[in-house]
Structure 1
Amino acid sequence: MFAGRDAITVAAWMRAHPSIEIVARDRAGAYSEAVDLALPAAKQVSDRWHLLSNLRYNVERLLYRLGPQLRQAAQQVEVGSMTLGRQGVLGHNSLRSWQRLSDRRRATRLALYERVMALRAQGGTFRGIAHELSISNVTVQKFVHAGAFPERTPWARGPTPLDPYRDYIEERIAQGCRFPELIVQELKQRGYKGSPACVQSCVARHLFPQGKAPLVQVPVRTIPCPSARCVFGWLVGWRKLAVEEPKSADHDQFVQALCKIEPVVGEVRSLAREFLGLMHRRSGRHFDRWFKRLSCCDAAEMRGFAQSLRADLPAVRAAFMLPWSNGQTEGHVNRLKLLKRQMYGRANIDLLRLRVLKPN
């Protein structure tokens, strides 16, 4: 443990250990200078984690600059009814939308019933049909023994806070009132404590019986504008980043829309994904070709990244060829920083050394 991170202190420690042949380090210039001073023959290897961190930092800088384009791309990604989660399903206030959903579910169940009966007519057993269709054996038995397609039993509704006011709702509709919001206000004056949505649904059923409600134009829902860090994860294809959900079709649509709006993002995406592939495969012989592409990128942030790599190019190239890395020590570095910050700078290096070496 050094009292500082200047080149002179690190070089003095290295002179005391002349047998060192390989130095895995981060991108700090002081460490590179110390190795050049004390052990010029040692092989320097840039840490791969810090290289990835530098890549992410520069891509995120580009995405921060493209904030309007991110919002424009997010507005082009429509959220499907099955991916809204707690926001609710589209069209719940429209009886027509609910009827279409119910019809689709019935059609799916009817198709399954017909497949079961067809396999049964061909001599299939209950267990064999269940295995082939990936359904329960009990479901197969119910379909076969039903004699005809078993319709769903209508849901039996229990008492609701709206029941005492149904006669009043019918009376107001008979008088020509067509505004559910007005009826809700009148019911609240009469003591109604329930949900306004129940009143709106009741009025709709009276105005449009048997599900013949007019088709209501439902506003299109789009995904919220993601953060630059999330977009970076979507661009390079990481399955999970921070608190984001696993990659979905919405993410793919967003990336495609963003690359179409701003073509430079597609170029940066290609460079970032190739960077990860080269690092994963330790493909040093293709690094120079990738670095040439990086230096000619249209994004100023990526050209700046290339300039920082050029200043430390031998160590960076070694990271793509050699297995050495100081990633194994990063956990201990994190623990050291935690202990240091717990002391709020009020203790010296001697106490910090004791807390690290003798934690009890």
Structure 2
Amino acid sequence: MTRRHGQRTERLRSTLASVGLALAGRAGARLAAVLGTSVSRSTILRLVDELPEPDVTPPRVVGVDEYATRKGRHYGTVLVDVETRRPVDLLPDREASSLAAWLSRRPNVEVVCRDRAPFFADGATVGAPQAVQVADLWHNLSEAAERSVAQHCGCLRALIPTGPEPDPEPAQAENTAGSPWPRGHRFADRTRARHAAVHALLAAGHSQRLVERQLGMTYRTVKQLGDAATPEDLFTGQWQNRPSILDDYKPHIDDRWNEGCTNAWKLWEEIVPLGCKGSYQRVRVYLRQKRTSPRPVTARPPSPRAVAGWILRRPESLTESEQLQLKTARTHCPELDALTRHVRSFAIMLTERQGERLPDWLDAIRRDDLPSLHTLAAGIDCDRDAVIAGLTLPWSSCFVEGHVNRIKMLKRQMFGRAGFRLLRKRVLLA
């Protein structure tokens, strides 16, 4: 009915605890105020912390994956009962020793579904030597396929439709002839507007001093704008010819741009090993200038990610245009044709549970010139038994990915300020 020194009924306590599980502290306190209960965020968090641990049946098939508490710096481990698809525990790190200790306390675990991370493999081997390990490979194959397509992105130019290039519009032609900045550039448009305002006042007979006071400009700015016959004369100053830290690397960036790579972050990662000391923002600004520079509008080849998506998807799910473009790419590039055959052969192994064909598939990969798949094959050799089990048994860790995404949502909901205990309670009890 109640408890010693209780300040609220048991039903209200359970209601506030449920609100805390759903919304955490601040948002939970705001919702409680709407419901007519004045309570602080600290009280709601305390009620959540006092909830008992869930009564979980020892799992027989466990899915293991990592989640980031601070991406790139600190990670934890989530364990899911694959049969019931519910989380059973959270670990504060992703060390092999922590997973091994957790599994050793549960000797009834028969199957461990994991990715191919070495710390999970070592932890499962030490903590549950009696369990069968199942490793998922489709995600690794997807990444390797995209890298392979990127290595042959020059072959994708065959997918550009041929035809006459359209003539530039009159405004664009004017910009090409007289201005390095096109219409729509915010600095250029601001300069043009200020130039027009100054010349309008000067033409009306106002002095430069009066224009300076009316427009809130300095005398030097008014004189500079007034002396320029056109705003384009202001865009040809010596500042445009200053040396840039990217000058030595612009040929590489231009070549990759012509190949169809327009991702500034990717290009920056490519030139850093070459010795570039410039920041990502410099590459981003340079690519923005290339995008906004006046030039004829021409078709671009599809991105490597788009082509990799065509290869990875079921053939019957592709549109007629995508099927035609993929067929053209396979005709012009033997490596992309071999990649498509290997990916679709692996998909048949995965869907039809033909894990015994994996050694033959690896031998076929090594006979082709596909370095990314060779790297993948070398990694599979170190974990072959788990991969074959993943291609044979009906278990996988796909359900764990959904819980990892839910953990991301809970962390963002608490603005990254929640500790491990509160996060664990919200994951296990919600």
> What is the TM-score of this pair, normalised by structure 2?
0.45
Distance 2:346 2:143 in 1: 14
Distance apart, 1:247 and its partner CA: 2.5
Specify the SS of the correspondent of 2:393. Answer: coil
Distance apart, 1:287 and its partner CA: 2.0
Specify the SS of the correspondent of 1:61. Answer: helix
Distance 1:236 1:330, change over 3 A: closer
Deviation digits for residues 141-161 of structure 1 (CA, Å, limit 9, x no counterpart)? xxxxxxxxxxxxxxxxxxxxx
**1:308 to 2:379 alignment:** yes
Which amino acid in the other structure matches residue 149 of structure 2?
L
Specify the SS of the correspondent of 1:229. Answer: helix
Which amino acid in the other structure matches residue 128 of structure 2?
L
Name the counterpart of 1:174: none
Aligned residues: 209
- Which one has the largest radius of gyration? 1
Name the counterpart of 1:118: none
Distance apart, 1:76 and its partner CA: 4.8
1:65 pairs, out of 139, 146, 151, with: 151
Specify the SS of the correspondent of 1:45. Answer: strand
Name the counterpart of 2:77: none
Distance 1:292 1:62 in 2: 18
Query: Greater share of strand residues, 1 or 2?
Result: 2
Distance 1:344 1:235, change over 3 A: same
Which amino acid in the other structure matches residue 65 of structure 1?
Q
Distance 2:422 2:369 in 1: 50
Q: Is the 8 A contact 1:74 1:222 kept in 2?
A: no
Distance 2:101 2:412 in 1: 27
Q: Is the 8 A contact 2:354 2:391 kept in 1?
A: yes
Moved over 3 A (4+): 221-224, 236-240, 341-345
Which amino acid in the other structure matches residue 59 of structure 1?
A
Which amino acid in the other structure matches residue 143 of structure 2?
Y
Distance 1:237 1:324 in 2: 21
Name the counterpart of 1:175: none
Distance 1:54 1:5, change over 3 A: same
Structure 2 residue runs of 5 or longer lacking an equivalent are 1-89, 164-296
Name the counterpart of 1:274: 345
Name the counterpart of 1:54: 140
Distance apart, 1:61 and its partner CA: 0.8
Distance apart, 1:357 and its partner CA: 3.5
Distance apart, 1:223 and its partner CA: 6.2
Q: Is the 8 A contact 1:54 1:305 kept in 2?
A: yes
Distance apart, 1:59 and its partner CA: 0.9
**1:22 to 2:93 alignment:** no
Percent sequence identity over matched residues? 33
Distance apart, 1:37 and its partner CA: 1.2
Name the counterpart of 1:260: 331
Deviation digits for residues 211-244 of structure 1 (CA, Å, limit 9, x no counterpart)? xxxxxxxxxx99642222221222244369xxxx
**1:3 to 2:111 alignment:** no
Distance 1:77 1:290 in 2: 38
Name the counterpart of 2:120: 31
Distance 1:40 1:229 in 2: 39
Distance 1:236 1:333 in 2: 23
Distance 1:10 1:21 in 2: 15
Deviation digits for residues 161-202 of structure 1 (CA, Å, limit 9, x no counterpart)? xxxxxxxxxxxxxxxxxxxxxxxxxxxxxxxxxxxxxxxxxx
Q: Is the 8 A contact 2:114 2:134 kept in 1?
A: yes
Distance 1:328 1:77 in 2: 45
Q: Is the 8 A contact 1:77 1:250 kept in 2?
A: no
